[in-house]
Structure 1
Amino acid sequence: MSLHVFEERYVRMCAVLEDSDGVFASVLIERGSEVGGNDKRSDVGVLIQIDDLYKDDGRILLIGHAEDVITVIDWLDDDPYPQARCRRSPQIQCDEDQRDAHFETLVDVLRRIGNTPSRELCDLIVTLAKEVGDTDLLLREAFWATARLLPAGAQDRRTLLQSGDISSGIRSLAEMMTHYEELTKFQKPL
């Protein structure tokens, strides 16, 4: 992920992050100040590890990757930048008897997104997944990788972040893909 940082409070936050472990949490704004009042922030987000940070004329380009899902316990003072006490969300677990079906669903969604060109590649992914010792970890990684490719908006992505188990997350992912396909059927080409 990349973020363009220009607000003074977040520029200050980046300075602190440069001198620390480079990890911060990012949440969605559910309702912005443009509708009156303060921002309403989501209580679910992701833990971001900074990979690179580029500065230019008071602006910052931050490149990072999501490491984990977090839940905000409570918001602290916004001065000098928004801060919160958070906890890592429990890892999404999977029933062993459901793994093969879950991998097949993810492969189907990938194929429908159009980023998996051949059936052979999809079959290879499933075969490799079954041979790896920690298939729960691989399934979680495949779930999040597929979710990143999904043509979805912020609310849909938030729904995926809040999935309590892999079954509901993958079911939501497949439903979102079906919804997207239905919407695009009726759009006129440009």
Structure 2
Amino acid sequence: MFPLGAVLLPGELLSLQVFEPRYLVMIEECTAYPDRMSFGVVLISRGQEVGGGDERTAIGTAARIVSARPVAGGRLLLDCEGTQRIRVERWLADAPYPRAEVAPWPDERSAIGDGVIGLLDDRVAELGEVYGELARRRGLSAPVFPALGELPGDAAAQTYGLASRLPLGPADRLRVLSAPGVGARLEVLADTVEDVLAAARFRLSGLETGR
């Protein structure tokens, strides 16, 4: 297991620079056999990434190692891809690295509420407009946030794909990952985008007031 200060979503790419001896040992063992080229990623809810002694969430994502290459200083650069959601059933002793008994957590049946996709798309479109104006005022390129139906894959992949492209913090990303199924995840996304949108509107109003 690799506890981080970030949330990895299924289908998302993750690059890591590994330098702690315990994780170097873990990656060496993961890459020793073709059928063990993965590890679990969970969010650190309290504490630091380096040194241990952290508190960890029980929901995470399995990360498949795509490439591992050594760099100067005995460090290792990893490119990984989130594959499936997992649930931690029991944490084991960190000997010599974090370990846990985990189980896959596939999407549960979850009804999609009437109008939730349209509501989500509307909020994402408005978020793009507000972020675009904020970027313009700062001389930056405007971000592009896609509509749900513009993303590849099935409904589950689209919900995770959208979440990975939005400016969500770790807590909101964990809420998305923890939603039991697609319908619930859409509701969480609509709520979190509304919160991000409110914060963006506030920042924009501050810029307008300060003119």
* TM-score normalised by L of structure 1: 0.79
Are 2:70 and 1:51 equivalent residues in the alignment?
A: no
- Post-superposition Cα deviations, 1:86-123, rounded to whole Å, max 9, x if no partner, equal 0011324343xx38845545544553454357xxxx59
Are 2:89 and 1:73 equivalent residues in the alignment?
A: yes
Mapped partners of 1:147, 1:9: distance in 2: 31
Partner of residue 189, structure 2: 173
Q: Which amino acid aligns with 2:101?
A: R
Q: Which amino acid aligns with 2:47?
A: G
Are 2:169 and 1:156 equivalent residues in the alignment?
A: no
Where relative contact order (Cα < 8 A, 6+ residues apart) is larger, the structure is 2
Residue aligned with 2:154, SS:
helix
Partner of residue 42, structure 1: 57
Partner of residue 26, structure 1: 41
**CA distance 1:23–1:7, shift in 2 (3 Å):** same
Q: Structure 1: give runs of 5+ residues left out of the alignment.
A: 130-136
* TM-score normalised by L of structure 2: 0.71
Partner of residue 2, structure 1: 15
Mapping for residues 8-157 of structure 1, pairs under 5 Å? 8-20=21-33, 21=35, 22-32=37-47, 38-57=53-72, 58-95=74-111, 98=112, 101=115, 103-105=117-119, 107-108=121-122, 110-114=124-128, 115-116=144-145, 125=149, 138-157=154-173
Partner of residue 132, structure 1: none
The answer to whether the 8 Å contact 1:113/1:149 transfers is no
Report % sequence identity.
Answer: 30
The answer to whether the 8 Å contact 1:102/1:170 transfers is yes
Cα deviation, residue 167, structure 1: 1.9
User: Whose helix fraction is larger, Structure 1's or Structure 2's?
Assistant: 1
